[in-house]
Amino acid sequence: MSMPSIYKTLGTSALMAGMAFGSAAALAADGPLRGNVRVVIGSTSTGGDTYQNSSIVADALAEHLDINMKVDAVGASSAFRFLDRDPRGNTLMIFHDQSYLGYLYGVEGYENIFEKYTIGPTVAINPGNAYLVPKDSPYQTLDDVIEAVGNGEEVRVAIQPGGVSEIGFSALKNAIAIEHPGMEENLVAVNTGSQADKNQQLFDDQADLINGTVQANEQYTRLPEDDQKAMRFLWLTARNSTIEQAPEDGLGQTTREQLLQYVEPNVNVTMGDDNFTFDKEFFFLYNKDMDQAIVNQIDQALAEIYAEGEIQETQKNAFFIPNFKPSDEAADYLESKMSVYEDIITNIQ
pLDDT score, position 30: 63
Cα 115–chain centre separation: 21
Residue 135 CA to residue 50 CA, distance in Å, equals 29
pTM for the whole structure: 0.89
Per-run averaged pLDDT (10 residues), the chain, 349 residues: 34 45 52 90 92 97 96 97 96 97 95 98 97 97 98 97 95 97 97 94 98 96 96 98 96 97 97 95 98 97 98 96 98 97 92
pLDDT score, position 304: 98
Averaged confidence pLDDT in the chain: 92
What ranges make up the beta strands (E) of the chain? Answer: 36-41, 68-73, 91-95, 117-126, 129-134, 155-159, 187-191, 209-213, 231-236, 280-287, 321-325
End-to-end CA distance of the chain: 48
